């Protein structure tokens, strides 16, 4: 019976959503959870707007579950065939719905992606996953763009049109921007969104329209969030081990994934769930060891790390990048406990292909560079791109990749000479 239940990627994700729904109402069983949800849906969403701060942990978890259910339902309606990227993109929605994504912001963007598929006369399944990533620009939908205009209806209309526009153009942009980093930035959508956000922000700045950055961070829920992460992680490990049938071999494969390409599911199958669970436990342990306050953004970052356990992340690479962030703070005025740095400590895992391909030491270097880039990159994009770390990672790869390849080429020439 359980074999049939866990066989489908869709089923496993749906059970995860049920865990989130149950947790939300356990933490906040009264009507206050709906008042918190209303506050979240009315929030401007611009960075940093932590939904745990805005509506409380229960409401934030409920928003994450509802928003993810909408994305999940869209995949089912259009009969999307699940793969590695399906897992990672759904978990991105699950994570980022703690600080910027909600049903009101993602639906216009999804609709824009659907219109693009009609315009190109192609099946929506070709770019449906890109729509999930394009929702990283949700703040551009909710932010009051016509500053000074009193017509609320005009503001809403313009915001919806902005969401449709973003969804419409995101797919062709993402495909071209991918070439810049050659797949070494797992958050290609973040790099794309960053470029688009910088352009949008610059255009509006020319008309004296600017965005006011938020600084809202949730706190005080470390025990509850760690408990949720441990439960979900153990659930994923159980699914992976149960379906694989050999616990020892499953864990052995989990710690050798770095030798393969980013697309793990075709090679490892259900072992990916073990990797996701291990990453979840590892990240949760790091929050305790380094004494990181788990905000909604940190929770979202950890969930994204877990999701990409099926699509390019493993403890080997993630640990090297985290080490780079930690060492970088020792040589800078920041602390790893600072809210923004703590978020980057986990999101830096998007650079996992770098240490996986070139070695642990390059992961440390990439992490150190990432720390300095990410702390400055939010301002040019006006805070309307939630995948700020994806933008920073794109620039890190563009800088670092040619240097790595140059050094490797020189080494090969010297070895050939000998």
Phi then psi for 96, rounded to 5 degrees?
-75, -10
Which residue pairs from 71-79 have beta carbons closer than 8 angstroms and sit at least 24 positions apart in sequence? 71/106, 71/110, 71/132, 71/135, 72/10, 72/13, 72/14, 72/17, 74/110, 74/128, 74/131, 75/10, 75/128, 76/10, 78/124, 78/125, 78/128, 79/125
Query: Which carries the bigger pLDDT value, residue 106 or residue 1?
Result: 106
Asked if residue 160 lies in contact with residue 106, where contact means CB atoms within 8 angstroms, the answer is no
Q: Is 246 left (phi over 0), alpha (psi -120 to 50) or beta?
A: beta
pLDDT in tens, 170-198: 998 888 777 666 678 888 777 788 888 88
Any idea what DSSP says for residue 147? T
pLDDT in tens, 325-344: 999 999 888 999 999 999 99
pLDDT at site 380: 72
Sequence ranges of the domains in the chain: 2-206, 222-414
pLDDT at site 260: 56
pLDDT (mean) for 263-279: 94
H helix or E strand, kind and range, residue 304 = helix 296-307
pTM: 0.94
169 has a pLDDT exceeding 50: yes
Q: How far is CA 124 from CA 34, 64, 131, 193, in A?
A: 33, 24, 10, 20
pLDDT at site 345: 97
55 has a pLDDT exceeding 70: yes
Going by pLDDT thresholds of 50, 70 and 90, the confidence category of residue 146 is: very low
Q: At what angle do helices 360-377 and 388-417 cross, to 10 degrees?
A: 150
Asked if residue 307 lies in contact with residue 91, where contact means CB atoms within 8 angstroms, the answer is yes
d(CA 72, CA 90): 7
Query: Which carries the bigger pLDDT value, residue 277 or residue 261?
Result: 277
pLDDT at site 174: 85
H helix or E strand, kind and range, residue 355 = helix 353-358
pLDDT in tens, 226-247: 999 999 999 999 999 999 999 9
pLDDT in tens, 300-329: 999 999 999 999 899 999 999 999 999 999
pLDDT at site 284: 98
H helix or E strand, kind and range, residue 354 = helix 353-358
- The percentage of the chain sitting over the pLDDT mark of 90, rounded to a whole number, equals 64
140-169 burial, b at 16+ Cβ within 10 Å, e below that, comes to: bbbbbbeeeeeeeeebeebbbebbbbbbbb
Lowest mean pLDDT among 128-132, 190-194, 283-287, 294-298: 190-194
Q: Closest by alpha carbon to 48, among 293, 321, 379, 369?
A: 379
Q: Closest by alpha carbon to 99, among 60, 57, 131, 42?
A: 60
pLDDT in tens, 387-414: 888 888 988 998 999 999 999 888 888 8
- The percentage of the chain sitting over the pLDDT mark of 70, rounded to a whole number, equals 94
Please provide the average confidence, as pLDDT, over all residues in the chain. Answer: 90
pLDDT at site 383: 76
Residue positions counted in the chain: 418
Asked if residue 79 lies in contact with residue 124, where contact means CB atoms within 8 angstroms, the answer is no
pLDDT at site 361: 94
d(CA 60, CA 325): 28
3-class DSSP state of 292: coil
d(CA 281, CA 319): 13
Q: How far is CA 103 from CA 69, 97, 258, in A?
A: 10, 9, 36
pLDDT at site 139: 85
pLDDT at site 197: 85
């Amino acid at each position: 019976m359980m074999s049939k239940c866990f066989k489908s990627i869709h089923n496993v994700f749906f059970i995860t959503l049920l865990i989130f729904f149950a947790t939300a109402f356990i933490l906040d069983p009264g009507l206050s959870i709906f008042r918190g949800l209303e506050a979240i849906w009315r929030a401007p969403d611009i960075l940093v707007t932590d939904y745990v701060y805005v509506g409380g942990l229960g409401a934030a978890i409920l928003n994450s579950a509802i928003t993810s259910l909408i994305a999940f339902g869209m995949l089912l309606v259009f009969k999307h065939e699940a793969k590695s990227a399906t897992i990672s993109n759904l978990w991105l929605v699950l994570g980022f719905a703690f600080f910027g994504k909600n049903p009101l912001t993602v639906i216009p963007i999804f609709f824009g992606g659907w219109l693009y598929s009609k315009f190109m006369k192609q099946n929506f399944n070709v770019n449906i996953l890109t729509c999930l990533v394009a929702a990283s620009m949700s703040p551009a939908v909710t932010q009051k763009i016509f500053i000074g205009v009193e017509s609320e209806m005009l503001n809403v209309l313009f915001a919806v049109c902005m969401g449709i526009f973003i969804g419409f153009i995101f797919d062709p942009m993402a495909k071209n921007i991918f070439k810049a980093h050659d797949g070494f930035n797992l958050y290609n959508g973040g790099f794309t969104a960053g470029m688009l956000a910088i352009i949008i922000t610059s255009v509006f700045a020319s008309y004296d329209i600017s965005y006011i950055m938020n600084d809202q961070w949730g706190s005080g829920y470390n025990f509850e969030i760690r408990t949720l992460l441990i439960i979900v992680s153990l659930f994923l490990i159980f699914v992976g081990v149960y379906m694989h049938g050999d616990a020892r071999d499953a864990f052995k494969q989990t710690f050798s994934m770095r030798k393969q390409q980013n697309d793990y599911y075709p090679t490892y199958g259900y072992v990916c769930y073990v990797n996701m669970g291990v990453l979840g436990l590892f990240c949760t342990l790091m929050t305790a060891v380094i004494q990181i306050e788990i905000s909604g953004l940190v929770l979202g970052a950890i969930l994204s790390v877990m999701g990409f356990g099926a699509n390019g992340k493993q403890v080997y690479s993630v640990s090297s990048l985290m080490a780079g962030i930690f060492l970088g703070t020792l040589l800078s005025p920041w602390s790893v406990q600072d809210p923004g740095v703590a978020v980057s400590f986990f999101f830096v895992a998007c650079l996992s292909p770098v240490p996986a391909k070139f070695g642990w030491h390059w992961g440390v270097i990439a992490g150190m560079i990432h720390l300095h880039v990410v702390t400055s990159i939010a301002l040019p994009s006006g805070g309307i791109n939630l995948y700020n770390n994806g933008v920073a990672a794109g620039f890190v790869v563009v800088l670092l990749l040619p240097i790595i390849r140059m050094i490797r080429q020189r080494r090969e020439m010297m070895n050939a000479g000998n």
